Structure 1
Amino acid sequence: MMENDRRPLHDRVRARPALELPSGPQGFRWRTLRDTDAPLLTVLAERMSVRDHPSWSESLEEVEDQLGRSWFRPATDGVLCEGPDGAPVAYGTVTMPPDPESLVRVFLGGGVDPVHRSRGIGRELLAWQHERARQLLASSPSTLPAWVMSHAADLAPEHGALLRRQGFEAARYFTTLECEVARHANQAAPPAPEGVTITPFTAELSERVRRAKNSAFVDHWGSQPAGVEQWESMVGLSSFRPDLSRIALVDDEVVGFVTTEVNEDDWERQGFSSGYIGLVGTVRPWRRRGLASALLGAVLEAYSLEGLERAVLDVDTESPTGALGVYTALGFTPTTRDVAYRIAY
């Protein structure tokens, strides 16, 4: 694509009108996804996690949520590969979230069971996903820039190598950080800026937090606004913990937030109990005032009272907000890294 090419995507992107299922290797069978495949995909995701990200895996509830979103159609946007014994060995999803404001994104998800890697299954899968992504882009009248995106863990370099061979570029790096909660047990949380009240997340605040999230993340790499369906899906998961999340208010305006998820199924993998900090943000006028540190301190205090041993989060290492420095100052240290890959159209 030429730089600054802002023709409609249906003029910029070429895609085959019909998309055949992947084929091979011999003895393996491919089919499209079904609405009822969530249990199969959850078991497969668990097997993949052992190599790709050993400390966590998708829960059945999370997979069901992904398959059930209004903008994802399993029969056209996903495939499953079954081995000679009929057991699933690979799957892929292609998702284009609705209502972009500045960037059209198509996400490629899934992967191959590590036992069955290096057989060409991943190559077949990625080729199918990329062509389906092009079909979705070619159906759009948008004149916005577009990215086809996938993520690869440093722990599984074969995934990144496959993406690079297929023309994807490593565009951004995300680091997982962990903090021992006990070190904060006897420390007062950093004070909030004058005029700010910090409170737990409530259903009444939810829509205001969504709008604040969209405002706070407008300058984050690759971010687009969270729609109502996407947001309500996230806060509706059983793993979301409003009591361990914290919101910063000035009068009735949300100016900052930290959200928490707790998945006890991950604790055995991790070797410790933990809370996952999914979102951290402050709206632009309240940055550089210590608000994020105050919110995180309040969350760590809540984790300590809950008896959680560690806090875990992921950070864009090039974030314009200086987030990495905020986290390291509070005692967060890096553990693993993921790479965001993309092809731009």
Structure 2
Amino acid sequence: MTAVLPDAYTVRSPTLEDAQAVLELVSDYNTSVVGFADYTLDDAQDELSEPGFDPTTDGWLVFDDGRLVGYGSIFGKGDHRQLDLDVVTTDPVVERFLLDRIERRAAEIAAEYGHPAVQVDIVNYQADTAREERLGGYGFERGTIFHRMRIDHDGTVPAPAVPAGVTVRRGAPDEASRRAAHDVMNASFAGQFGFSPRSYEEWHASLENFSGFDWSQQTVLELDGEVVAMRLCNDQFVEDENCGYIGRLGVLEKARGKGLAKFLLRDQFALDAAAGRTGTILHVDTNNPTPALGVYLSVGMQATLVMEVWRREITAS
């Protein structure tokens, strides 16, 4: 049954100028659930300006007498077989309305890309059990659980020894180094939950748009002259937690078991501590087919927040 908003409510597409209002809405919701905002103005601006996101078709703002009470969006990457959606509101009627809009748009995207159906994913804080129950009622099923991992730095952190035979390349001054990291990322993350391979051009444009990233934050490892591991960091958690953030860390399957992931982790810990960061953060899928969670725990990281991804299949229109 399609939700109908009260007569006084209005709906329109978002613009970049709405970032502050979206920030306030999301921060209020997050604080009510996990006790802190977990969101910044840069986050809002980056979402609204993400290359490939068309706010006129893929974003919605709901207002009650001029006050923003709901925000919804849908975003696809790569072949658009899997779509990420976001709905933020404290009003179940507005939530249902936004999910209806998103469902219709997802069906359109499936048809546009020639898919019989697409998967739509939404992230929910595990602490929000009421929303979890509603998502189940909307036909979503729990897909996986992510942990936000963190390690705190108290003073200097010693730099790890470089594994034997490995060459460390810091920064990405040219296209070749960026393409090498992109290739390793797509290969090492293939088949993992929610990962959609992106063309080099799409991936590059997304990073160029991200306010918290620059190419000095890319590191690759070479073994016998071949790039076999990569790490991409950014400043996503500097403003609110003064922590470095490891956005992507991947090792080719043939190079696993050589301590490369642990080296990249400890290396970043040392870099973050030297920069005055109080910690380093990353996210891990607890159902990852690689033993990633165990690796992170083994270097001293601990889970600080639990999030669940809920998934639903939507057929093409």
Which residue does the alignment assign to 1:159?
131
Segment drifting more, 153-162 vs 23-32: 23-32
Which residue does the alignment assign to 1:294?
263
The aligned amino acid for 1:32 is S
Sort the Cα spacing of 1:230 and 1:158 in 2 relative to 1 into closer, same or farther, 3 A.
Answer: farther
Q: What is the distance in 1 between the residues matched to 2:23 and 2:11?
A: 18
Which residue does the alignment assign to 1:11?
none
TM-score by length of 2: 0.87
Which residue does the alignment assign to 1:265?
239
> What pairs with 1:240-259 in structure 2 (closer than 5 Å)?
240=213, 242-243=215-216, 245-250=218-223, 252-259=225-232
Q: Secondary structure of 1:37's match?
A: helix
Structure 1: tracts of 5 or more residues without a match: 1-19, 268-272
Segment drifting more, 204-213 vs 230-239: 230-239
Which residue does the alignment assign to 2:212?
239
Q: What is the distance in 2 between the residues matched to 1:222 and 1:333?
A: 23
Which residue does the alignment assign to 1:333?
302
Q: What is the distance in 1 between the residues matched to 2:178 and 2:290?
A: 23
Structure 2: tracts of 5 or more residues without a match: none
Sort the Cα spacing of 1:200 and 1:53 in 2 relative to 1 into closer, same or farther, 3 A.
Answer: farther
Matched positions, count: 309
Q: Secondary structure of 1:182's match?
A: coil
Q: CA deviation at 1:29?
A: 2.0
Q: CA deviation at 1:52?
A: 4.5
Residues 179-228 of structure 1: CA distance to partner in whole angstroms, max 9, x if unpaired?
A: 11238x35452x44322112322232222211211111113222121332
Segment drifting more, 37-46 vs 325-334: 37-46
C-alpha contact (below 8 Å) 1:261/1:277 kept by paired residues: yes
The aligned amino acid for 1:280 is L
Sort the Cα spacing of 1:46 and 1:215 in 2 relative to 1 into closer, same or farther, 3 A.
Answer: same
Q: CA deviation at 1:142?
A: 3.4
> What pairs with 1:42-121 in structure 2 (closer than 5 Å)?
42-52=23-33, 54=35, 57-84=38-65, 86-99=66-79, 104-112=81-89, 117-121=90-94
Q: What is the distance in 1 between the residues matched to 2:153 and 2:170?
A: 18
Residues 44-82 of structure 1: CA distance to partner in whole angstroms, max 9, x if unpaired?
A: 233233235555544444433433345322122111111
Q: Secondary structure of 2:273's match?
A: helix
Q: What is the distance in 2 between the residues matched to 1:265 and 1:167?
A: 36
C-alpha contact (below 8 Å) 1:179/1:312 kept by paired residues: yes
Correspondence 1:41 to 2:22:
yes
Sort the Cα spacing of 1:110 and 1:210 in 2 relative to 1 into closer, same or farther, 3 A.
Answer: same
Q: What is the distance in 2 between the residues matched to 1:155 and 1:166?
A: 19
Which residue does the alignment assign to 1:230?
203
Q: Once the two structures are aligned, what percentage of the paired residues are identical?
A: 25
Correspondence 1:203 to 2:177:
no
C-alpha contact (below 8 Å) 2:49/2:209 kept by paired residues: no
Correspondence 1:132 to 2:105:
yes
Sort the Cα spacing of 1:56 and 1:244 in 2 relative to 1 into closer, same or farther, 3 A.
Answer: farther
Q: What is the distance in 2 between the residues matched to 1:317 and 1:310?
A: 21
Which residue does the alignment assign to 1:16?
none
Residues 308-344 of structure 1: CA distance to partner in whole angstroms, max 9, x if unpaired?
A: 1111111000111101111001000111111111113
Whichever structure has more strand as a proportion of its residues is: 2
